Structure 1
């Protein structure tokens, strides 16, 4: 099964964070990135039905397939699970995606954000595996897999129940232990399933480290960027076949191409240095939330783990903006720290014994402090 990635570049271009102008894809700037990617040896282009308000696939149809020979690259896109309500929707949606992409086939087709729950309760009864196999025979897709944010045990259920050509997971040197990505990765390696990695730099967080971790990185790696070390750490794992990077600026493309041309795996001493960086990151004054969701008893449905994750990103990566724009984008009104009534109902449910109301108040105060400094 590993052979399907033999001629695919280790660095993949994730088309979820393309340059924008006036709220839409900046075609001229994004087209230049596509050309840079191809010239630099990237052959894996990853998109999805939803990306850029459903315009990413169409962009690739114009910037990639309409301008470059189809045998020079591979395309990965994803089945939008929320759009599929019945079996007849499966091929209808795929045909729409092929039309957007201006191609007769997709090389890598993924069930987008699949969980064990969704698979066993909805998509297995719908016959999704039989559909995917039928599309392979029809020549509309070459290989199929899924992307997932499910826990390792959910992932294992998925790969034990059906045959998958590859799987895409979130993996980086911090989530290796924080989200137990190590176990998820090992489940895939044990079954000889190729791994495609998303969020290798944790949404850009591992590119901007706080002072302590940054000093450790500079001591070992000198002038190499934090982002390049994060990418090399992931790419050094033998089961990883593609490392996706959502590049928005030409300098990011240039730096990543330099990192992978040629790719130099981390040494054991390098990996030890990265482990020390992880220890330093975890020693920062973060909220010890593991996102177990036991606190979801909140009568106001406060997004407790999400709020704490934004706060922790602010602390670990010195990114005050985490508590402003991303916070407000991903945490809906009425479910924010400001809406906590400090009733304390959630506190006994927390395995980490976190003072949830106290931390909620601290988040509110920090958000106000950041606003005043701007």
Structure 2
């Protein structure tokens, strides 16, 4: 059965991590990257109103829109309305994006980063009806949303908003069985609702391209001639109902590597999937906070600390030795909720934790390491 975006090549170009010269995007290098990407038949570009303070969307105009026929590519961008205060500001985001990109219309327009306390802003500002109006007027071709939340939240959103045509969420082999990211469960929810998927974070922000030595060896033993990133991107692209798999490429070398293995894309075979499973198992055995994401601890927390999410950010540091990435993700996860340092040590969380975790002590450690 055909689905929206079925014929779009399965590698998309994320404009979030473009090459920089100081505080400015390196437009000339970006043009080279775009030219190579499109010369190999790839067409999908993803940005957001918020990326690089709007410079990402402006780079789309300079590197893509001004240089290629409009029907030869797809522009996707997003509206993160939880960062503004009024409905007028929220609704004006599309006009800013259209002006910055010069695209005339947006092919795939997303309500950006739903989940947790952020979703209510889209409800309060009437964004669900508004994006439908934009589609009716021809300003956007297709409407959907991105989210960072669990499968139950995704199921609720798709049940309440069947008019959404596609979804975008984090999916990679490491997070496939994650109790907090719930990639597999989210994937199954999308299939249940017959919604195609744009995959983000297939390489987990670059972590799966630079894993621990024990993980690298597993892949090198299986095939020493391909990049680590190729395993992660091909894994996501091998799934059914995928519009495209976004890669936030920062260098021409990264584009060259990605297009080399995706130009004539072949899904992973059973032997390759077995290698992925072996790597996933090895990652799970690296010491980390063994939180299962049951969320029992959240309900009784007087400080509204999303404890499983906070633990997941710290596990990024423990498993991948990525302190900078852990701090960045921690900042996003606690932007609108309680921080680890807000813990009152009331003990409500530990009383209900099925894993009997030392939650209060872990929060103290996390505050000391991630809030500096």
Q: Same fold (TM over 0.5)?
A: yes
Whether the aligned pair in 2 keeps the contact of 1:208 and 1:318 (CA below 8 Å) is no
Q: Give the aligned partner of residue 194 of structure 1.
A: 196
Give the equivalent residue in structure 2 for 1:232: 234
Q: 1:26 to 1:132 in 2, by over 3 A?
A: same
* 2:82 counterpart SS class: coil
| Aligned residue in 2 for 1:347 | 350
Q: 1:155 to 1:299 in 2, by over 3 A?
A: closer
1:103 aligns with 2:103: yes
Q: Which residue, out of 236, 253, 256, partners 1:254?
A: 256
How do residues 212-291 of structure 1 correspond to structure 2 at under 5 angstroms? 212-291=214-293
Give the C-alpha shift of residue 123 in structure 1: 3.6
Stretches of structure 1 lacking an aligned partner (at least 5 in a row): none
2:132 corresponds in structure 1 to 133
Asked if the contact 1:291/1:305 (under 8 Å) is kept, the reply is yes
Alpha-carbon spacing, 1:44–1:327, altered in 2? closer, same or farther (3 Å):
closer
SS at match of 2:81: coil
Offset at 1:84? Answer: 6.0
Shift of 1:351: 3.3
Relative to structure 1, is the Cα distance of residues 5 and 294 closer, same or farther in structure 2, using a 3 angstrom cutoff? same
Give yes or no for contact 2:313–2:330 (8 Å, CA) kept in 1. Answer: no
**In the TM superposition, what are the counterparts of 1:37-56 in structure 2 within 5 Å?**
37-56=37-56
Query: What residue ranges of structure 2 are gaps of 5+ in the alignment?
Result: none
Which secondary structure does the structure 1 equivalent of 2:113 belong to?
Answer: coil
1:1-374 maps to which residues of 2 (within 5 A)? Answer: 2-82=2-82, 88-89=88-89, 91-115=91-115, 121=120, 123-124=122-123, 126-162=125-161, 163-178=163-178, 179-291=181-293, 294-295=296-297, 305=308, 308-319=311-322, 321-322=324-325, 326=328, 346-359=349-362
Q: Deviations over 1:165-213 (max 9, x none)?
A: 1111111111110032112111211232111100001111111121222
How many residues in Structure 1 have an aligned counterpart in Structure 2?
365
Question: Does the 8 Å contact 1:209/1:318 carry over to 2?
Answer: no
Indicate how the Cα distance of structure 1 residues 351 and 331 shifts in structure 2: closer, same or farther if over 3 A, else same: same
Q: Secondary structure of 2:9's match? A: coil
Structure 1 CA distance for aligned equivalents of residues 123 and 325 of structure 2: 38
- What is the TM-score when the length of structure 1 is the normalising length? 0.85
- Is 1:2–1:194's contact at 8 Å kept on the other side of the alignment? no
Q: Is the 8 A contact 2:75 2:108 kept in 1?
A: yes
Deviation of 1:164 (Å): 1.6
Q: Secondary structure at the match of 1:172?
A: coil
Distance 1:158 1:136 in 2: 19
Contact 1:18/1:248, CA 8 A, preserved across alignment: yes
The question of whether the paired residues in 1 share the 8 Å contact of 2:37 and 2:255 is answered with yes
RMSD over aligned Cα, in angstroms? 3.2
Distance in 1 between residues matched to 2:53 and 2:90, nearest whole Å: 20
Q: Deviations over 1:118-173 (max 9, x none)?
A: 55x55456543432232222110111111111211111111122222111111111
Whether contact under 8 Å (2:91, 2:127) holds in the other structure is: no
